[in-house]
Amino acid sequence: MANFKIFETPDEEFPIMILVMFCHSKPNQRTHINEALQEMKYEGWVLIDNLMQSGVEGLRFYRSYFKGEFIDDGFPVKIAPDSIYRKLSCDYLRENNLVNGSNLSDRKIKAIMNGEII
């Protein structure tokens, strides 16, 4: 299983969202993400969800522009609590049982496993 998941979203602002998982090498992870987006021939804004890496709300989401590679390190963004992006991440994590044994707090693990959107 890859250490990231790319979602195509119905939203115009961020047509692509990437949920990043744990990794041993962030440069390698970034290379693999770049390759996946290049294969998709994607160019535009990407929303990155760092829930599994930081768990801290203020550091969870950031946006970056992709044009063959990411052109910046990204900028933090606030995402509404009821957003499709949060739902995509939480549903994927729950359906693939990826939160149990993670470094997320017990409260967040229980919320995701109970079908809540965090």
> What is the pLDDT, as a whole number, of residue 1?
56
pLDDT per residue as tens digits for the range 81-111: 999 999 999 999 999 999 988 889 999 999 9
> What is the pLDDT, as a whole number, of residue 55?
61
pLDDT per residue as tens digits for the range 47-68: 999 999 876 677 899 999 999 9
What whole-number percentage of the chain has pLDDT above 90?
76
10-41: buried (b, 16+ CB within 10 Å) or exposed (e) per residue? eeeebebbbbbbebeeeeebeeebeeebeeee
* pTM for this model (two decimals): 0.92
pLDDT, mean of residues 13-20: 96
What is the rounded average pLDDT for all residues in the chain? 92
pLDDT at 75 over 90: yes
The ranges assigned to domains in the chain are: 4-113
Chain centre distance of CA 49: 3
What whole-number percentage of the chain has pLDDT above 70?
96
pLDDT, mean of residues 111-117: 96
> What is the pLDDT, as a whole number, of residue 103?
85
